[in-house]
Amino acid sequence: MSIPVLDPRSLQAHDSGPPALLPASWLANHLNSRRQEVNAFLEKSLEGGARHSDELRRVMHHAAIGSGGKRLRPLLTILAAEACGGRAEVSLPCACAMEFIHACSLIQDDLPAMDNDRMRRGQPTCHVKFGEGLTILAGDALLSLAFELMATPSTDLPATRQLSVIQLIARSIGLHGMAGGQAADLLAANAAVSMETLRLIHEGKTAAFLQACIVAGSLIAGAAAWQLDALRTFGAEIGLAFQIVDDILNETGHETVTGKAVGSDQALGKATFTAAYGVEGSRRLALEALNRGLEALDPLGPTSAPLQEVGRFIVARNF
Protein backbone atom coordinates (compact mmCIF):
# COMPACT_ATOMS: atom_id res chain seq x y z
CA MET A 1 0.00 0.00 0.00
CA SER A 2 1.44 3.34 -0.98
CA ILE A 3 0.35 6.79 0.09
CA PRO A 4 -0.65 8.75 -3.00
CA VAL A 5 0.56 12.28 -3.49
CA LEU A 6 -2.49 14.48 -3.81
CA ASP A 7 -3.20 17.66 -5.68
CA PRO A 8 -3.89 20.13 -2.83
CA ARG A 9 -6.26 22.07 -5.07
CA SER A 10 -8.65 19.11 -5.06
CA LEU A 11 -9.14 19.69 -1.33
CA GLN A 12 -9.21 23.47 -1.59
CA ALA A 13 -6.69 23.43 1.21
CA HIS A 14 -4.03 25.94 2.19
CA ASP A 15 -1.11 26.07 -0.25
CA SER A 16 2.01 27.49 1.37
CA GLY A 17 3.92 27.93 -1.89
CA PRO A 18 7.54 26.78 -1.65
CA PRO A 19 6.93 23.10 -0.74
CA ALA A 20 4.88 22.69 -3.92
CA LEU A 21 8.10 23.27 -5.89
CA LEU A 22 9.17 19.72 -5.01
CA PRO A 23 8.10 17.29 -7.78
CA ALA A 24 5.16 15.06 -6.94
CA SER A 25 7.17 12.04 -8.08
CA TRP A 26 9.90 12.86 -5.54
CA LEU A 27 7.33 13.09 -2.75
CA ALA A 28 5.68 9.80 -3.70
CA ASN A 29 9.03 7.99 -3.89
CA HIS A 30 10.20 9.51 -0.60
CA LEU A 31 7.05 8.50 1.29
CA ASN A 32 7.05 4.98 -0.16
CA SER A 33 10.76 4.55 0.60
CA ARG A 34 10.25 5.57 4.23
CA ARG A 35 7.29 3.22 4.52
CA GLN A 36 9.37 0.29 3.24
CA GLU A 37 12.06 1.08 5.81
CA VAL A 38 9.41 1.05 8.54
CA ASN A 39 8.01 -2.31 7.41
CA ALA A 40 11.49 -3.87 7.33
CA PHE A 41 12.30 -2.62 10.83
CA LEU A 42 8.95 -3.83 12.20
CA GLU A 43 9.62 -7.32 10.83
CA LYS A 44 13.14 -7.39 12.28
CA SER A 45 11.88 -6.26 15.69
CA LEU A 46 9.62 -9.31 15.96
CA GLU A 47 12.29 -11.85 15.05
CA GLY A 48 13.88 -14.23 17.53
CA GLY A 49 12.85 -14.99 21.08
CA ALA A 50 12.09 -18.18 23.00
CA ARG A 51 10.29 -21.00 21.20
CA HIS A 52 7.45 -20.98 23.73
CA SER A 53 6.56 -17.45 22.58
CA ASP A 54 6.04 -18.35 18.91
CA GLU A 55 2.24 -18.25 19.11
CA LEU A 56 2.26 -14.94 20.97
CA ARG A 57 4.62 -13.54 18.32
CA ARG A 58 2.15 -14.64 15.62
CA VAL A 59 -0.61 -12.64 17.29
CA MET A 60 1.67 -9.61 17.59
CA HIS A 61 2.66 -9.94 13.94
CA HIS A 62 -0.97 -10.16 12.84
CA ALA A 63 -1.87 -7.06 14.81
CA ALA A 64 1.10 -4.88 13.85
CA ILE A 65 2.27 -6.13 10.46
CA GLY A 66 0.36 -8.95 8.83
CA SER A 67 -2.99 -7.19 8.71
CA GLY A 68 -1.53 -4.24 6.81
CA GLY A 69 -1.86 -0.61 7.82
CA LYS A 70 -1.06 2.83 6.50
CA ARG A 71 1.99 3.34 8.80
CA LEU A 72 0.96 6.95 9.27
CA ARG A 73 2.30 7.32 12.80
CA PRO A 74 5.85 6.11 12.12
CA LEU A 75 5.88 8.14 8.90
CA LEU A 76 4.87 11.26 10.80
CA THR A 77 7.67 10.70 13.31
CA ILE A 78 10.33 10.26 10.62
CA LEU A 79 9.09 13.13 8.45
CA ALA A 80 8.93 15.49 11.44
CA ALA A 81 12.54 14.62 12.28
CA GLU A 82 13.60 15.21 8.68
CA ALA A 83 11.70 18.52 8.57
CA CYS A 84 13.92 19.67 11.45
CA GLY A 85 17.16 18.49 9.86
CA GLY A 86 17.29 15.04 11.48
CA ARG A 87 18.26 11.73 9.84
CA ALA A 88 15.61 9.09 9.17
CA GLU A 89 17.75 6.20 10.46
CA VAL A 90 18.09 7.85 13.87
CA SER A 91 14.34 8.28 14.29
CA LEU A 92 13.42 4.86 12.82
CA PRO A 93 13.40 2.81 16.08
CA CYS A 94 11.19 5.35 17.83
CA ALA A 95 8.99 5.65 14.75
CA CYS A 96 8.41 1.90 14.70
CA ALA A 97 7.64 1.99 18.41
CA MET A 98 4.75 4.30 17.46
CA GLU A 99 3.33 1.60 15.19
CA PHE A 100 3.55 -1.04 17.91
CA ILE A 101 1.73 1.27 20.33
CA HIS A 102 -0.91 1.94 17.68
CA ALA A 103 -1.35 -1.81 17.12
CA CYS A 104 -1.79 -2.30 20.86
CA SER A 105 -4.48 0.38 20.94
CA LEU A 106 -6.34 -1.29 18.04
CA ILE A 107 -6.20 -4.66 19.81
CA GLN A 108 -7.82 -3.10 22.86
CA ASP A 109 -10.33 -1.08 20.84
CA ASP A 110 -11.58 -4.21 19.04
CA LEU A 111 -12.07 -6.35 22.17
CA PRO A 112 -15.63 -7.38 23.15
CA ALA A 113 -15.39 -5.17 26.25
CA MET A 114 -14.79 -2.16 23.98
CA ASP A 115 -16.18 -2.01 20.42
CA ASN A 116 -16.40 -5.78 19.82
CA ASP A 117 -15.24 -5.40 16.21
CA ARG A 118 -14.77 -8.61 14.25
CA MET A 119 -12.97 -7.19 11.21
CA ARG A 120 -10.00 -4.86 10.98
CA ARG A 121 -8.21 -3.97 7.72
CA GLY A 122 -10.28 -6.59 5.92
CA GLN A 123 -9.14 -9.42 8.20
CA PRO A 124 -10.48 -11.01 11.40
CA THR A 125 -9.55 -9.03 14.51
CA CYS A 126 -7.05 -10.62 16.87
CA HIS A 127 -9.54 -11.81 19.47
CA VAL A 128 -11.63 -13.47 16.75
CA LYS A 129 -8.61 -15.19 15.17
CA PHE A 130 -6.59 -16.08 18.27
CA GLY A 131 -8.89 -15.73 21.29
CA GLU A 132 -9.11 -13.03 23.93
CA GLY A 133 -6.37 -14.33 26.24
CA LEU A 134 -3.53 -14.30 23.72
CA THR A 135 -4.85 -11.07 22.23
CA ILE A 136 -4.62 -9.23 25.56
CA LEU A 137 -1.11 -10.59 26.11
CA ALA A 138 -0.10 -9.54 22.58
CA GLY A 139 -1.22 -6.00 23.34
CA ASP A 140 0.90 -5.99 26.51
CA ALA A 141 3.88 -7.38 24.61
CA LEU A 142 3.58 -4.82 21.80
CA LEU A 143 3.46 -1.97 24.29
CA SER A 144 6.47 -3.38 26.14
CA LEU A 145 8.41 -3.78 22.89
CA ALA A 146 7.62 -0.19 21.93
CA PHE A 147 9.17 1.18 25.11
CA GLU A 148 12.14 -1.18 24.74
CA LEU A 149 12.80 0.29 21.28
CA MET A 150 12.50 3.86 22.54
CA ALA A 151 14.83 3.18 25.48
CA THR A 152 17.56 1.31 23.59
CA PRO A 153 20.74 3.46 23.76
CA SER A 154 22.00 5.00 20.54
CA THR A 155 25.27 6.80 19.89
CA ASP A 156 23.37 9.12 17.53
CA LEU A 157 20.71 10.11 20.06
CA PRO A 158 21.53 11.88 23.35
CA ALA A 159 19.99 10.23 26.40
CA THR A 160 18.25 13.47 27.39
CA ARG A 161 16.36 13.51 24.08
CA GLN A 162 15.45 9.84 24.49
CA LEU A 163 14.08 10.50 27.95
CA SER A 164 12.04 13.45 26.66
CA VAL A 165 10.53 11.26 23.94
CA ILE A 166 9.67 8.44 26.35
CA GLN A 167 8.03 10.86 28.78
CA LEU A 168 6.07 12.51 25.95
CA ILE A 169 4.79 9.21 24.54
CA ALA A 170 3.93 7.77 27.96
CA ARG A 171 1.82 10.83 28.77
CA SER A 172 0.10 10.81 25.37
CA ILE A 173 -1.19 7.24 25.78
CA GLY A 174 -2.09 7.32 29.47
CA LEU A 175 -4.52 9.10 31.76
CA HIS A 176 -3.98 12.44 30.04
CA GLY A 177 -4.18 11.03 26.49
CA MET A 178 -5.36 7.89 24.77
CA ALA A 179 -6.52 5.88 27.79
CA GLY A 180 -8.28 8.85 29.35
CA GLY A 181 -9.96 9.75 26.07
CA GLN A 182 -11.07 6.17 25.47
CA ALA A 183 -12.54 5.99 28.98
CA ALA A 184 -14.44 9.23 28.38
CA ASP A 185 -15.64 7.82 25.07
CA LEU A 186 -17.03 4.73 26.81
CA LEU A 187 -18.75 6.80 29.49
CA ALA A 188 -20.30 9.13 26.89
CA ALA A 189 -22.11 6.34 25.03
CA ASN A 190 -25.83 7.04 24.60
CA ALA A 191 -25.45 10.27 26.56
CA ALA A 192 -25.84 13.89 25.53
CA VAL A 193 -22.44 15.56 25.47
CA SER A 194 -21.45 19.15 24.81
CA MET A 195 -19.34 20.13 21.80
CA GLU A 196 -16.49 20.91 24.19
CA THR A 197 -16.69 17.43 25.72
CA LEU A 198 -16.81 15.84 22.26
CA ARG A 199 -13.59 17.60 21.29
CA LEU A 200 -11.90 16.71 24.57
CA ILE A 201 -12.78 13.03 24.10
CA HIS A 202 -11.28 12.87 20.65
CA GLU A 203 -8.30 15.06 21.46
CA GLY A 204 -7.48 12.48 24.11
CA LYS A 205 -8.17 9.19 22.39
CA THR A 206 -6.79 10.09 18.94
CA ALA A 207 -5.15 13.50 18.56
CA ALA A 208 -2.85 13.33 21.61
CA PHE A 209 -0.90 10.33 20.36
CA LEU A 210 -0.78 11.50 16.75
CA GLN A 211 0.57 14.83 17.94
CA ALA A 212 3.10 13.05 20.15
CA CYS A 213 4.37 11.00 17.19
CA ILE A 214 5.16 14.25 15.36
CA VAL A 215 6.66 16.05 18.34
CA ALA A 216 8.77 12.96 19.12
CA GLY A 217 10.38 13.22 15.70
CA SER A 218 11.23 16.85 16.24
CA LEU A 219 12.69 16.11 19.70
CA ILE A 220 14.88 13.37 18.24
CA ALA A 221 16.19 15.84 15.66
CA GLY A 222 17.01 18.41 18.34
CA ALA A 223 14.51 20.91 16.96
CA ALA A 224 14.56 24.57 17.91
CA ALA A 225 11.71 25.96 20.01
CA TRP A 226 10.00 27.56 17.01
CA GLN A 227 10.13 24.28 15.10
CA LEU A 228 8.65 22.42 18.06
CA ASP A 229 5.82 24.96 18.28
CA ALA A 230 5.03 24.62 14.58
CA LEU A 231 4.98 20.84 14.66
CA ARG A 232 3.04 20.72 17.92
CA THR A 233 0.29 22.84 16.33
CA PHE A 234 0.33 20.78 13.13
CA GLY A 235 0.06 17.58 15.17
CA ALA A 236 -2.90 18.80 17.19
CA GLU A 237 -4.80 19.92 14.09
CA ILE A 238 -4.04 16.87 11.98
CA GLY A 239 -4.93 14.60 14.91
CA LEU A 240 -8.32 16.29 15.18
CA ALA A 241 -8.82 16.03 11.41
CA PHE A 242 -7.95 12.32 11.52
CA GLN A 243 -10.67 11.57 14.08
CA ILE A 244 -13.27 13.63 12.22
CA VAL A 245 -12.56 11.71 9.00
CA ASP A 246 -12.75 8.42 10.93
CA ASP A 247 -16.21 9.42 12.15
CA ILE A 248 -17.27 10.28 8.60
CA LEU A 249 -15.99 6.96 7.21
CA ASN A 250 -17.75 5.01 9.95
CA GLU A 251 -21.00 6.47 8.67
CA THR A 252 -20.46 6.79 4.92
CA GLY A 253 -17.62 4.39 4.04
CA HIS A 254 -17.78 0.97 2.41
CA GLU A 255 -16.61 -2.06 4.37
CA THR A 256 -14.74 -3.48 1.38
CA VAL A 257 -12.67 -0.27 1.29
CA THR A 258 -12.35 0.61 4.98
CA GLY A 259 -11.75 -3.03 5.95
CA LYS A 260 -13.92 -2.76 9.06
CA ALA A 261 -17.55 -2.49 10.07
CA VAL A 262 -19.44 0.64 9.00
CA GLY A 263 -22.15 2.15 11.17
CA SER A 264 -20.82 0.70 14.42
CA ASP A 265 -20.43 4.11 16.10
CA GLN A 266 -24.12 4.87 15.72
CA ALA A 267 -25.08 1.36 16.87
CA LEU A 268 -22.99 1.81 20.02
CA GLY A 269 -24.41 5.28 20.65
CA LYS A 270 -20.98 6.89 20.48
CA ALA A 271 -20.38 10.61 20.66
CA THR A 272 -19.10 11.49 17.18
CA PHE A 273 -18.55 14.57 15.05
CA THR A 274 -21.03 13.32 12.47
CA ALA A 275 -23.71 12.94 15.13
CA ALA A 276 -23.06 16.49 16.30
CA TYR A 277 -22.34 18.31 13.02
CA GLY A 278 -23.60 16.01 10.26
CA VAL A 279 -21.44 14.57 7.49
CA GLU A 280 -21.01 17.78 5.50
CA GLY A 281 -20.44 19.88 8.61
CA SER A 282 -17.81 17.39 9.74
CA ARG A 283 -16.06 17.54 6.36
CA ARG A 284 -15.81 21.30 6.72
CA LEU A 285 -14.36 20.93 10.22
CA ALA A 286 -11.75 18.45 8.96
CA LEU A 287 -10.69 20.75 6.14
CA GLU A 288 -10.50 23.74 8.49
CA ALA A 289 -8.26 21.72 10.85
CA LEU A 290 -6.07 20.69 7.92
CA ASN A 291 -5.70 24.28 6.78
CA ARG A 292 -4.68 25.42 10.26
CA GLY A 293 -2.16 22.60 10.42
CA LEU A 294 -0.65 23.39 7.04
CA GLU A 295 -0.39 27.07 7.91
CA ALA A 296 1.52 26.14 11.07
CA LEU A 297 4.13 24.42 8.89
CA ASP A 298 4.82 27.55 6.81
CA PRO A 299 7.92 28.60 8.82
CA LEU A 300 9.58 25.24 8.08
CA GLY A 301 9.55 25.89 4.33
CA PRO A 302 10.17 23.15 1.74
CA THR A 303 11.36 20.60 4.32
CA SER A 304 7.75 20.24 5.47
CA ALA A 305 6.45 19.15 2.04
CA PRO A 306 6.25 15.41 2.90
CA LEU A 307 4.44 16.19 6.15
CA GLN A 308 1.99 18.37 4.23
CA GLU A 309 1.24 15.51 1.84
CA VAL A 310 0.54 13.09 4.67
CA GLY A 311 -1.76 15.71 6.21
CA ARG A 312 -3.68 16.06 2.96
CA PHE A 313 -3.89 12.28 2.63
CA ILE A 314 -5.36 11.99 6.12
CA VAL A 315 -8.25 14.25 5.16
CA ALA A 316 -8.78 12.91 1.63
CA ARG A 317 -8.57 9.17 2.47
CA ASN A 318 -11.46 6.73 2.10
CA PHE A 319 -10.04 4.03 4.37
What's the pLDDT tens digit per position in 66-108? 888 899 999 999 999 999 999 999 999 999 999 999 999 999 9
In a domain, 1, yes or no: no
What's the rounded mean pLDDT across residues 286-310? 96
What beta strand segments (E) does the chain contain? Answer: 119-120, 123-124
What's the rounded mean pLDDT across residues 143-172? 97
% of the chain surpassing 70 pLDDT: 92
Q: Give me the pLDDT at residue 113, please.
A: 92
In a domain, 308, yes or no: yes
% of the chain surpassing 90 pLDDT: 77
Q: Give me the pLDDT at residue 198, please.
A: 92
What's the rounded mean pLDDT across residues 19-34? 73
In a domain, 228, yes or no: yes
State how far the Cα of 41 lies from the Cα of 314, in Å rounded to an integer: 23
* CATH code for the domain of 144: 1.10.600.10
Residue 286 sits in which domain range?
A: 18-316
Residue 188 confidence (pLDDT) above 80 = yes
State how far the Cα of 268 lies from the Cα of 248, in Å rounded to an integer: 15
What is the tens place of the pLDDT at every residue in 201-232? 999 999 999 999 999 999 999 999 999 999 99
State the pLDDT confidence band at 24, using cuts at 50, 70 and 90.
low
In a domain, 278, yes or no: yes
Q: Give me the pLDDT at residue 8, please.
A: 36
What is the tens place of the pLDDT at every residue in 259-297? 777 888 888 888 999 999 999 999 999 999 999 999 999
In a domain, 13, yes or no: no
Q: What angle do CA 245, 139, 174 make, to 5 degrees?
A: 65
Closest CA to 304 of 217, 241, 246: 217
In a domain, 231, yes or no: yes
Residue 303 confidence (pLDDT) above 50 = yes
State the pLDDT confidence band at 193, using cuts at 50, 70 and 90.
confident
In a domain, 10, yes or no: no
Residue 117 confidence (pLDDT) above 70 = yes
Residue 16 confidence (pLDDT) above 90 = no
Residue 28 confidence (pLDDT) above 90 = no
User: Which has more confidence, 11 or 110?
Assistant: 110
Q: How many CB atoms sit inside 10 A of residue 173's CB?
A: 23
Q: Classify residue 268 by its DSSP letter.
A: T
Q: Give the total number of structural domains in the chain.
A: 1
For the chain, the average pLDDT equals 90
What's the rounded mean pLDDT across residues 165-182? 97
State the pLDDT confidence band at 313, using cuts at 50, 70 and 90.
very high
Q: How many CB atoms sit inside 10 A of residue 248's CB?
A: 22
In a domain, 284, yes or no: yes
Q: Give me the pLDDT at residue 2, please.
A: 44
